[in-house]
Amino acid sequence: MYLESLYLKDFRNYRETHIEFSQDTNLIYGKNGRGKTNLIEAVYLLSTSKSFRHVSDRKITRWGCDGYITRGTLETKDGKYSLGLQYKGNKKLFSVNGTPEQKLSNIIGYVYCVLFSFEDISLITGPPVIRRSFLDLILSTTDSLYFGQLRLYVRLVRQKNSYLKGKARVEPDLIEVWNEQLVKSGSYIIQRRIALIQYMNERIREAVPVIIHFTEPPEIRYSTNCAGDSAGQVRVVDDIESSFLNALSSNMKTEIDGRQSIVGPHRDDFIFCDSHHEVRYFGSTGEARLASIMLKMVQAAYYTDVKNIQPILLVDDILPELDAVNRESVLSLFGKENQILVTAIERKQLPEIFSCDRVFHIFEDGTVR
């Protein structure tokens, strides 16, 4: 899979631009503030329909305009596709080969990309919601059932919380009805997340000999409050359902008193540990950075193993923070079969071993040549 071309109109600082990429390695360089990350953001939008910067579409739109267009031509093993995303009148309009698509679920899965960004360190040091979102992104884009169950579960939690907060007198029988529904969808979410964590640990063990900073393989541990003490092991759904239901029942009074749902995969987390400590609390910034990069490497490998797709790698300004040795180690992990879009302030920031097939320079006026 690779992105053949990208067209933008009124997107961020770009009035209108068209770029044709190499199917191998593409370098986008230029001074800070000229729009390197904006190009990466546009590709990411085609993959997920959302900005990784967590901003509204209004803020993505170029100043003074009423909307934007981003369109990409994608070459895959199944053929060529033209994907379009237009924001206008506070609405997003999607299209595939010029045909409008109404459902987001019909768009997800055309473009598989993995973003490596400066903010990735929050996967290790940030709050649990960031790590849950990371797992959900991977699983939602590879498993349509997971995507559906996750949307259902989120809707049920919101309904339950609304009831808990809005009623002076809460009926336990009604809470039990919600809990039974939450267990059905939530158990599948937990099971799939645990299986993904096990896969991640296997792939991290393979990568550690290359990342010299870690003398022993780190381990990811899934933490849940609703699947029993053996949550680190993949179990049949019925076992998770039983543990989940018991946890909801034993915490019902606490949820009613606190007016919120506190048990379930919407409160789960995962912990990244080396042989001695949890990296989030005791690791150095360098360890946290390398740990986050390994997580993204595993995401790319998962897409390849599960979907038989070589995802596009979007490498946005993560290399300058690494020392020279680990910079080369990280780059050596990037698959030769993947298309890579990498940003840098200057060409010399990249080691010579990282040869670029096409180079784009962003000028002060936003033109790309």
- The domains found in the chain, sorted by start residue, are 1-112+309-369 (3.40.50.300), 123-307 (1.20.1050.90)
- Output the six-digit token pair for 166: 């809005």
Q: What tens digit of pLDDT does each residue of 68-84 get?
A: 999 999 998 888 999 99
Q: Of 148, 155, 136, nearest to 269 (Cα)?
A: 136
Instruction: Find out whether 70 and 45 touch, Cβ atoms under 8 Å.
Output: yes
* C-beta of residue 190 within 8 angstroms of C-beta of residue 238: no
Position 140: which residue type?
A: S
Below-70 pLDDT ranges, the chain: 105, 208-216, 227-237, 275, 319-321, 324-325, 348-354
List, in sequence order, every beta strand (DSSP E) within the chain.
Answer: 2-11, 14-20, 25-29, 67-76, 79-88, 91-96, 99-101, 113-117, 219-223, 269-273, 312-316, 340-344, 358-361
In this prediction, residue 112 carries a pLDDT of 93
Q: What is the pLDDT of residues 297-316, one digit of tens each?
A: 999 999 999 999 999 999 99
Question: What local confidence, expressed as pLDDT, does residue 232 receive?
Answer: 46
